[in-house]
A and B are shown apart, each in its own frame.
Chain A
């Protein structure tokens, strides 16, 4: 019984951490180049929405995922234009776009299915299922926990290591970090600040859109208003916790999701003494605690969130 609890919890936490890790990694890279994109929340939501709509009409999960990526890219590119080219305030723009996204997704959803949500909300029949890695998933006990997840999970973990390697061991990583510390100097040294940021934001769009799609076509089979419920922001907090280091982000998201998973289990056990709202609140409380603990002396890229205009 206890082992089932533990293994169940670990399994769930790996599942839960996937969207957080994906979003967090993408945002980590973008922030390393000095841009704070609060709009990951909105991009995730648009990814979730688009994936669901496409899946509903085409029954093809692959295309749905791709269109989620596309939607994410469009959002992030819009954000780029406003913050990189026009140098508008990043925080305000990100926030505004989040509001916009909630409005658009809710509107379009209702436009398609009717203004009042019926008792049985529209849903798709098939969702993305976890796949088992051959051989490794056969290992008793560990195989069940670690190697039977969605493909996205494996991609996310690989991405974490890749991100670490690129950031700290390659020339590109050097340039990205230089931009994040001092874009004026980077520009002077011949690094194209704006192009690099655009590219990173493009990648972020793809990754975050797909992360969003997980919500609507993998974990659940429907779309709900404001489905992301602040997960984009939580990812940003985790990036701070991880001190902008991809490997620490991997560890941090795991710990966070573990707590989340335990909370869900407790709720499922139906202990009436424990109000459901408390456990629903838990992720947000934990985020605040994380920030309390880690946010203090965290020094991010020096030029984070500062607008960049070329001066010669």
Chain B
């Protein structure tokens, strides 16, 4: 329902900008979900999915990792740079090593904010955000100087040899094996969060740190673990993007209209931290991103719409939750009067 309202508002904005909403929406959906473009949608959704799944873990613990973007970049960069040294590694070993490297990158980047939060209670929103900026500048420096591909006009690394690429799953498309990994992760994470002791610990921590301590949980360690998990996923997403799509590292690897790291935050919240819903949402939003590009080409609508949509959706969904919560409270009040 909230999505419906967001679309309505979007239509209004479109209209104001001088575009025909109906035409625009047609291209939006066509661009997102037609047979031709569905694979592209999945391509877009892959990194989103990974990052959001990881965020689902930290957000359940109420640890707000805003640094997914930075972790994504660092993971991607690790993979791209290490790949330059593994030119002769056979397939698939080189690939696997690089994926692990990207995981390491994401984890390393999440490490310091995690410690600051776990042991010093320093607000992780600000620290992770600062690290995002630091990450982008660091990567920019690396791409301009030491690792720059001399032959290219743009700051980027050398293209990696084919044996280091992710295999394509559906021939004729760009859809690579990353999507399979993603699909495996979904039930895995669902299982971990809902059905294991670890998941319960995270839930308890999310309830309150003091309760967690009472329950005998090492809160500091758990905070770090959850941050590292989301760092892991974000880094992996970066590695997959480099190895599966770009085959090198550029600064534009995260779409500027809807940066993966930040969009994933929206996806996780929209999916109510539930891995399955989160997965569905990431596909949906992947579609929106692609669709808005198509919309832009064919119906002359600006590309910035995606960002607006997202934010509108988040706000309306939150309002929706509030109303639901109020409704549930009233219901339970009636139940309690017995």
Direct contact between A and B in the complex (CB less than 8 angstroms)?
A: yes
Residue B120 at the chain A interface, CB threshold 8 Å:
yes
User: A296 to B120, Cβ gap below 8 A?
Assistant: yes
Cα A88 to Cα B314 with chains together (Å): 12
Contact with A along B285-327 (1 / 0, CB 8 A): 0000000000010000011111111111011001100100000
Specify which chain B residues have a CB less than 8 angstroms from the CB of A285 in the assembled complex. Answer: 130, 134
Find residues 120-153 in chain A having any chain B CB closer than 8 Å to their own CB. Answer: none
Specify which chain A residues have a CB less than 8 angstroms from the CB of B24 in the assembled complex. Answer: none
Interface of A is mostly: helix
User: A284 to B302, Cβ gap below 8 A?
Assistant: no
User: A284 to B318, Cβ gap below 8 A?
Assistant: no
Distance in angstroms from A296 CB to nearest chain B CB is 5
User: B126 to A281, Cβ gap below 8 A?
Assistant: no
Find residues 109-127 in chain B having any chain A CB closer than 8 Å to their own CB. Answer: 112, 116, 120-123, 125-127
Cα A54 to Cα B133 with chains together (Å): 30
Specify which chain A residues have a CB less than 8 angstroms from the CB of B116 in the assembled complex. Answer: 291-292, 295
Known: A88-B319, A285-B134, A287-B130. A103 touches B66 (CB 8 A): no
Cα A99 to Cα B134 with chains together (Å): 19
Nearest residue, chain B, Cβ from A237: B126
User: A100 to B145, Cβ gap below 8 A?
Assistant: no
Distance in angstroms from B319 CB to nearest chain A CB is 7
Cβ 8 A contact of A278, one of B123, B133, B141, B315:
B141
Cα A115 to Cα B127 with chains together (Å): 33
Specify which chain B residues have a CB less than 8 angstroms from the CB of A96 in the assembled complex. Answer: 266, 269, 311, 314-315, 318
Residue A184 at the chain B interface, CB threshold 8 Å:
no
User: B137 to A277, Cβ gap below 8 A?
Assistant: yes
Contact with B along A240-279 (1 / 0, CB 8 A): 1000000000000000000000000000000000010110
Specify which chain A residues have a CB less than 8 angstroms from the CB of B207 in the assembled complex. Answer: none
Residue B17 at the chain A interface, CB threshold 8 Å:
yes
Cα A236 to Cα B127 with chains together (Å): 11
Cα A95 to Cα B59 with chains together (Å): 14
Residue A38 at the chain B interface, CB threshold 8 Å:
yes
Cα A229 to Cα B134 with chains together (Å): 12
User: B137 to A100, Cβ gap below 8 A?
Assistant: no
Distance in angstroms from A208 CB to nearest chain B CB is 17
User: A233 to B138, Cβ gap below 8 A?
Assistant: no
Distance in angstroms from A44 CB to nearest chain B CB is 15
Cα A106 to Cα B112 with chains together (Å): 32
A-side interface size class = 35 or more
Find residues 132-149 in chain B having any chain A CB closer than 8 Å to their own CB. Answer: 133-134, 137-138, 140-141, 144-145
User: A240 to B314, Cβ gap below 8 A?
Assistant: no
Residue A302 at the chain B interface, CB threshold 8 Å:
no
Specify which chain A residues have a CB less than 8 angstroms from the CB of B269 in the assembled complex. Answer: 92, 96
Contact with A along B131-171 (1 / 0, CB 8 A): 10110011011001100000000000000000000000000
Find residues 64-120 in chain B having any chain A CB closer than 8 Å to their own CB. Answer: 64, 66, 112, 116, 120
Residue B265 at the chain A interface, CB threshold 8 Å:
yes
Known: A88-B319, A111-B17, A277-B138. A288 touches B308 (CB 8 A): no
Distance in angstroms from A293 CB to nearest chain B CB is 10
Cα A284 to Cα B311 with chains together (Å): 25
Residue A186 at the chain B interface, CB threshold 8 Å:
no
Specify which chain B residues have a CB less than 8 angstroms from the CB of A229 in the assembled complex. Answer: 133
Nearest residue, chain B, Cβ from A276: B141
Distance in angstroms from A194 CB to nearest chain B CB is 16
Nearest residue, chain B, Cβ from A105: B304
Cα A233 to Cα B124 with chains together (Å): 12
- Residues in chain A within 8 A of chain B (CB atoms): 38, 82, 86-89, 91-93, 95-97, 99-104, 106-107, 110-111, 115, 225, 229-230, 233, 236-237, 240, 275, 277-278, 280-281, 284-285, 287-288, 291-292, 295-296
15 A–B contacts from the bound complex (CB under 8 Å): A82-B318, A92-B269, A93-B318, A95-B265, A115-B302, A115-B303, A225-B256, A233-B125, A280-B137, A285-B134, A288-B131, A288-B134, A291-B126, A295-B116, A296-B121
Q: Which 5 A-B pairs have the closest CB atoms?
A: A103-B307, A100-B311, A107-B304, A277-B141, A295-B122
Given A100-B314, A291-B127: 7 more A-B contacts, CB < 8 Å:
A82-B318, A103-B308, A103-B311, A230-B129, A284-B133, A287-B130, A288-B112
